[in-house]
Homo-oligomer: A and B are copies of this chain.
Amino acid sequence: MSSASSNQYYKVGVLLFPGADILDFAGPIEALSHVSHNRNTSNPDRMFDITTIACSAKIRAANSLTIHADITVSEALDCISDFHILLVPGGPTSVITPLIDANGPELELIRKFAALPPAAGSGTRILFSVCTGALLLGAAAVLAGINVTTHHSALDVLRDICARSNPPGGPSTTVVHKRYLDGGLLKDGGVRVITAGGVSSGLDAACYLVSQLATGDMASFVARVMEYDWCELKE
């Protein structure tokens, strides 16, 4: 992944749905919200611009927190090429399975993002799932030929979904148990896939993302602000 220049900005879409796991999206949003070009916490020049996306204006996450989405999935589909990063959280099986069975706008958004060419300028496009969000990526048939991870309890489920959803005769998906994983570029070369394991590992993957798009020093700064003991994977 190319390290960007210091004046680079990134537009992050966060796909939400009723029952989404809170920390899956709140963790990465937290980490990215601390990244600024000027490191001024009172008046930050933020590197990441966050937009929440959902089918309805209000969604209830984990039956505990009501989020007001910034734009609808339909609106996001119309301007998907504006986004550099698409974050896909997970949730319990009772939430994820109906989304997969419906094969609705959420999967369409993932598919459309995954098919984009590199972004103008930075070239950066990242499809970033946390926890069972990877099941939605698998069901959208965008994971062929790459290495991915998910929540420890959903590894076999993800293997099954990918085996059923990937194009027949094409490359398969390798599902491994890791804290997070940079799976590299999809076959068309426009979009990189980063998958995180369960829930809190989205924080680690977000710090990794910061280390790649800003600097390792900035990732350490963000971890320090969050008082988070970042699990930095060495390949």
Contacts and interface: CB of A to CB of B under 8 A. Distances in A.
Interface of A: 21-23, 26-27, 29-30, 32-33, 41-43, 46, 50, 52, 58, 62-70, 92-94, 151-152, 179, 197-201, 203, 225-229
Contacts of A62: 29-30, 33
15 contacts: A22-B30, A23-B23, A23-B226, A26-B27, A26-B65, A33-B64, A41-B92, A43-B94, A50-B64, A65-B67, A66-B69, A198-B225, A198-B227, A199-B225, A199-B226
Number of copies: 2
Contacts of A58: 68
A45 to B, nearest CB: 12
A212 to B, nearest CB: 20
A27, A64, A228: which has the most chain B beta carbons within 10 Å? A64
Listed from nearest, the 7 A-B pairs whose CB atoms lie closest are: A198-B227, A26-B26, A23-B30, A50-B64, A66-B68, A200-B228, A42-B94
A46 B201 CA distance: 24
Contacts of A29: 22, 62, 64-65
